[in-house]
Amino acid sequence: MSYTELPGAQVPIRMWADPSTVEDVAMQQLRNVATLPWIKGLAVMPDVHYGKGATVGSVIAMHGAVCPAAVGVDIGCGMSAVKTSLTAADLPDDLSRLRSRIEQAIPVGRGMHDDPVDPGALHGYPTAGWDDFWSRFDGVAAAVHFRQDRATKQMGSLGSGNHFIECCLDEDGAVWLMLHSGSRNIGKELADFHIGQARKLPHNQGLVDRDLAVFIADTPQMAAYRNDLFWAQEYAKRNRAVMMALFQDVIRKEFRKARPVFDQVISCHHNYVAEERYEGMDLLVTRKGAISARGGEWGIIPGSMGTESYIVRGLGNEESFNSASHGAGRRMSRNAAKKRFSTRDLEQQTAGVECRKDSGVVDEIPGAYKPIGQVIEQQRDLVQVVAKLKQVVCVKG
């Protein structure tokens, strides 16, 4: 057993992190989660850190209930990656043009496309299901008054914060494309709305933390949340798929002579809910800053903008509810990082990477994150490393 088991009010707290390295506020959040009457299990990943209501880096299994704050406000946030036929030898010495082309093709920050991306115009992109997906929009947006023209123009855009697009090299010199993004602001608005709705419900009034408010099965509030939740998760998945198609188009144009081809895209959510069955019981499993790691399942565990990332395969460890970490995990807040580090520190820590090195991304400096190698080592019973990647180009929001 590679995890530490701590006592909890309703269930034990299984920790793949060293408890001595976890902030006191995060430990209190874990103890709070373990008091929920509906909880059936709690697994804590090595990248755990403080979050709204529930920690980032936790897997919470409940029966007949779901906690919106245990999903995360960027519903469906996750990763996509693909190996290409290109090698390091195909890359130019100066990668600034490539970064510029990526930024021109994929809006970053709060940017969006001038016109919605037509999936039918993307090379080899499957268009099945798009009409059905958008036909469900009105039933979702009624909760937050989100405009469909904005939602469609944001499809295929990066967002800001810790989201990124990268060109990476593996240890054999093969070029990989990788990106990290979610449901853009619509997922956050839906999450905030439903957390607020849950806080008002009578059964949540006695909780130790009202941010842990839940929806109960077979209620109108649960039905409304599930409708919006699963739509937002699909939005996030489609958003990443469109971005990856745009990214591949950039690579095809920039490396026309090399005629690049691409393996099958690996994709995984790390802020989401799944219906899963354990020990004969149907459970709602929320992964907030965690990926599914069923036996043989592909996953992506990124580092920060100056460190390595990992392509992994799950080992199917049911003690963790078949889960693994979603990345390195922050070891300090954004404000703390801005106070501690300078642009010179950023330049030093991202040496050799074509990326922004200005004050606007200092809060994403590698030093603000936990060492990714250590995070991987702490979950050797959860995943098997398939490839180790190091970025050469990093586009941030």
The span from the CA of 140 to the CA of 151, in Å, is 12
CB atoms within 10 A of CB 380: 12
CATH superfamily of 4-331+369-396: tRNA-splicing ligase RtcB (3.90.1860.10)
Q: Is 326 a catalytic residue?
A: yes
49, 194, 269, 326: the active-site residue: 326
The span from the CA of 57 to the CA of 50, in Å, is 9
CB atoms within 10 A of CB 197: 16
The CA distances from residue 348 to 38, 80, 341, in Å, are 48, 27, 11
The more confident residue out of 205 and 53 is 205
Average pLDDT over residues 277-292: 97
Q: Is residue 162 annotated as involved in ligand binding?
A: yes
Average pLDDT over residues 42-70: 95
pTM above threshold 0.75? yes
Whether 374 has a pLDDT exceeding 80, the answer reads yes
Q: What is the pLDDT of residue 72?
A: 86
Q: Could you give the dihedral angle defined by the CA atoms of residues 113, 159, 374 and 318, in that order, rounded to the nearest 10 degrees? A: -90
Q: Is residue 327 annotated as involved in ligand binding?
A: yes
Whether 299 has a pLDDT exceeding 90, the answer reads yes
Whether 141 has a pLDDT exceeding 80, the answer reads no
Average pLDDT of every residue of the chain: 95
Q: Is residue 302 annotated as involved in ligand binding?
A: yes
Spell out the domain ranges in the chain.
4-331+369-396
Q: Are 9 and 31 contacting, i.e. CB atoms less than 8 angstroms apart?
A: yes
Q: What is the pLDDT of residue 215?
A: 98
Instruction: Specify the range with the lowest mean pLDDT, choosing from 75-84, 134-143, 271-280.
Output: 134-143
Q: Is residue 329 annotated as involved in ligand binding?
A: yes
Q: Is residue 131 annotated as involved in ligand binding?
A: no
Q: What is the pLDDT of residue 143?
A: 76
What length is written for the chain? 397
Q: Give the pLDDT confidence of 170-184 residue by residue, as tens digits.
A: 999 999 999 999 999
Q: Is residue 309 annotated as involved in ligand binding?
A: yes
Q: Are 20 and 27 contacting, i.e. CB atoms less than 8 angstroms apart?
A: no
Q: Is residue 333 annotated as involved in ligand binding?
A: no
Whether 1 has a pLDDT exceeding 70, the answer reads no
Q: What is the pLDDT of residue 136?
A: 93
Instruction: Determine what percent of the chain is predicted with pLDDT higher than 90.
Output: 92
Closest-CA residue to 61 (of 91, 81, 34, 41): 41
Whether 86 has a pLDDT exceeding 80, the answer reads yes
* Residue 347 in tokens: 């330049």
Q: What is the pLDDT of residue 2?
A: 85
